[in-house]
Amino acid sequence: MPQTGNIPQRMPERTLAWEILGWAERYIVQPDGERAGSPWRFSDEQIRFLAHWFAVDENGRWVYSSGCLRRSKGWLVG
C-alpha cells in the first residue's frame, strides 16, 4: 500500500538523495531575501522528502513512481 499523508520519519535504507543534496548545496544559492547569494540549505523536512523521493530498492529500482508535496506559499527552510 502506498504511503499517504505525511512524509515517513524513518529515512529509507537506500537513497540517491545524498549525492543530489550535496550537489544542490554546492551549486545552488539562495536567490533572494536576507540570505540572497548564500549557499542553499534544505530543511529537515525537505531532506526527508528527497530521501524518500530518490529511494531505490535492493535492485536499484525506484521505490516510488509518483508523489506529491504540497505546502503553502512561503514554505521556509528551517
Cell of 63: 521505490
Task: Give the pTM.
Answer: 0.76
The SS3 assignment for 1 reads coil
For residue 19, the model assigns a pLDDT of 96
Burial class (CB in 10 A: 0-12, 13-18, 19+), 19: exposed
Instruction: Please list the pLDDT of the chain residue by residue as tens digits (78 residues).
Output: 455 567 888 899 999 999 999 999 999 999 999 989 999 888 888 899 999 999 999 999 999 988 888 877 766 655
pLDDT for residue 1: 44
The four Cα atoms 2, 56, 25, 42 give a dihedral, to 10 degrees, of 20
Q: Where are the domains of the chain?
A: 18-53
CB within 8 Å of 14: residues ≥ 6 apart = 55, 56, 57, 58
pLDDT at 52: 95
